[in-house]
């Protein structure tokens, strides 16, 4: 039976050596069939990994919010026929806060071997750097956009951080980061701790934990930079 490999990519313009183990290159060099979030990014990633990689011999299937379950089934045909395949997301780990899980679920149903490779996850790295509880944590993706719902969601996360001693991780679309930050420091209790993790694995990376009260006196510039937010009790 063929294997489905889950292949992490760099988070923005970092070098491969910074974030990708050498083994991944050995695996990827053997593959010619890829399910990808974006063909252009995938081609650039493969070329950067191995400038001699024969991209023109590759087949790319595009997986995004427009992909139907029927399309997905079709994408996996090479796998059913005995050919190993790879899943590449646009940045970071496939199937984590990114498309890919549906493809993996089908491969699992059909009893194919699934092998996740190691690479950068901004969620995990942010949590490591936060100093918050890593024995219990929760990632909830994006919060609702509508103000009342969003405020309610934030309060729910905060109360769960306190009641369950659980680190609460979430993200925002980069151009809305500053608004998110302002809403957190308005909504959460002054003593609640907030970690802001920006540009993870890039030269401009910073991971900073302070109380909401401390953040109020000085807001960092998060505008249009990839950012992970984590809240936790004092």
**Least distance (Å) between residue 171 CB and a copy of itself:** 10
- Which is it for the CA torsion 226, 230, 231, 234, positive or negative? negative
Q: Is 130 in the site for a copy of itself (CB under 8 A)?
A: yes
Q: Closer to a copy of itself by CB, 54 or 218: give it.
A: 218
Q: Closer to a copy of itself by CB, 27 or 57: give it.
A: 27
Question: Of 35, 46, 88, 104, which one interacts with a copy of itself (CB under 8 A)?
Answer: 104
CA angle 197/200/201 to nearest 5° reads 150
Q: Is 205 in the site for a copy of itself (CB under 8 A)?
A: yes
Question: Of 42, 201, 226, 227, which one interacts with a copy of itself (CB under 8 A)?
Answer: 201
With tokens 């011999």, the residue in question is: 57
> What residues make contact with a copy of itself under the rule CB under 8 A?
6, 15-23, 93-98, 100-102, 104-109, 113-116, 118-121, 123-141, 166, 195, 201, 205-210
């Amino acid at each position: 039976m063929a294997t489905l490999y889950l292949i992490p990519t760099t988070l923005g313009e970092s070098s491969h050596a910074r974030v990708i183990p050498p083994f991944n290159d050995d695996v990827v060099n053997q593959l010619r069939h890829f399910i990808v979030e974006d063909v252009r990014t995938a081609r650039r990633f493969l070329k950067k990994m191995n400038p001699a990689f024969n991209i023109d011999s590759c087949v790319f299937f595009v997986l995004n919010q427009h992909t139907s379950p029927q399309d997905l089934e079709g994408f996996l045909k090479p796998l059913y026929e005995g050919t190993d395949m790879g899943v590449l997301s646009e940045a970071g780990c496939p199937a984590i806060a990114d498309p890919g899980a549906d493809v993996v679920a089908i491969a699992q149903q059909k009893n194919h071997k699934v092998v996740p490779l190691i690479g950068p996850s901004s969620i995990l790295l942010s949590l490591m750097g936060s100093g918050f509880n890593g024995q219990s944590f929760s990632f909830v993706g994006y919060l609702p956009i509508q103000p009342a719902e969003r405020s309610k969601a934030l309060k729910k996360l905060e109360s769960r951080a306190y009641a369950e001693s659980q680190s609460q991780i979430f993200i925002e679309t980069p151009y809305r980061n500053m608004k998110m930050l302002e809403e957190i420091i308005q909504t959460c209790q002054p003593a609640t701790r907030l970690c802001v993790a920006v540009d993870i694995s890039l030269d401009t990376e910073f991971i900073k934990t302070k109380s909401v009260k401390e953040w109020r006196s000085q807001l960092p510039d998060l505008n249009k930079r990839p950012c992970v937010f984590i809240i936790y009790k004092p």
